[in-house]
Structures are given as structure tokens and as C-alpha cells.
Amino acid sequence: QKYGYYHCKACNIRWESAYVWCVQGTNKVYFRQFCRACQKAYNPYRVEDITCQSCKQTRCTCPVKMRHVDPKRPHRQDLCGRCKGKRLSCDSTFSFKYII
């Protein structure tokens, strides 16, 4: 699971997501995400590891894990290529919260 930056060229909308699913050990994206305005599917233009803001590591031992994602923000299942149309969403089956 990685962090991605998206840009819809049709609507000129930009968004970010902590639910980018890649082939293990690479930045090759498995699932696209959909623009909330026009519903076109896109791959991220940039992908990076989800890192701790304190130590800048992906797997850290910091007592308080400050990630560059908001764990309280709801996952938009209707815009996610991995879980769109399915009963369970990405955030309930696997989450960045379990990356230690």
C-alpha cells in the first residue's frame, strides 16, 4: 500500500490517496481511482511510501506514529478501483494502520 497523487486532466481536479495498491516492491499500480466529478479512472502521477512524519521511515518504532495521512478521514469506496461495488472496502480489509 502506498500514497498517491492524482490529477484529472478533464476536470483539472487534484487529489491524494493513502489507498494506492502496488505490486510488492514496486510502484506499479494495480487499481485506478475515479475522479469525483467526471468518474474517469486514473492512475496516480506520483507514488510514494507512507512514511512517519517524525522519523521519515515507512516502518518505525516511534511511540506516536505521525503518518502523512488522516486515519479519521473516510475512505471513498465509490471512487476506489479496488473496492468499488464490493461489500468490504480497502480500509476494512487492510489499512496503513497495520504497517509498523
The domain segmentation of the chain, as residue ranges, is 1-86
Rounded to whole angstroms, how far apart are CA atoms 76 and 83? 9
> What's the whole-model pTM score?
0.72
pLDDT tens-digit readout, 48-71: 888 777 787 777 777 766 656 666
DSSP states along 38-92: T--EE--SEEE---BTTT--SS---SS--BSS-TTSPP-GGGBTTTTTSSS-HHH
pLDDT tens-digit readout, 11-33: 999 998 888 888 888 888 889 99
Report which of 51, 4, 65, 66 is spatially closest to residue 29, judged by C-alpha positions: 4
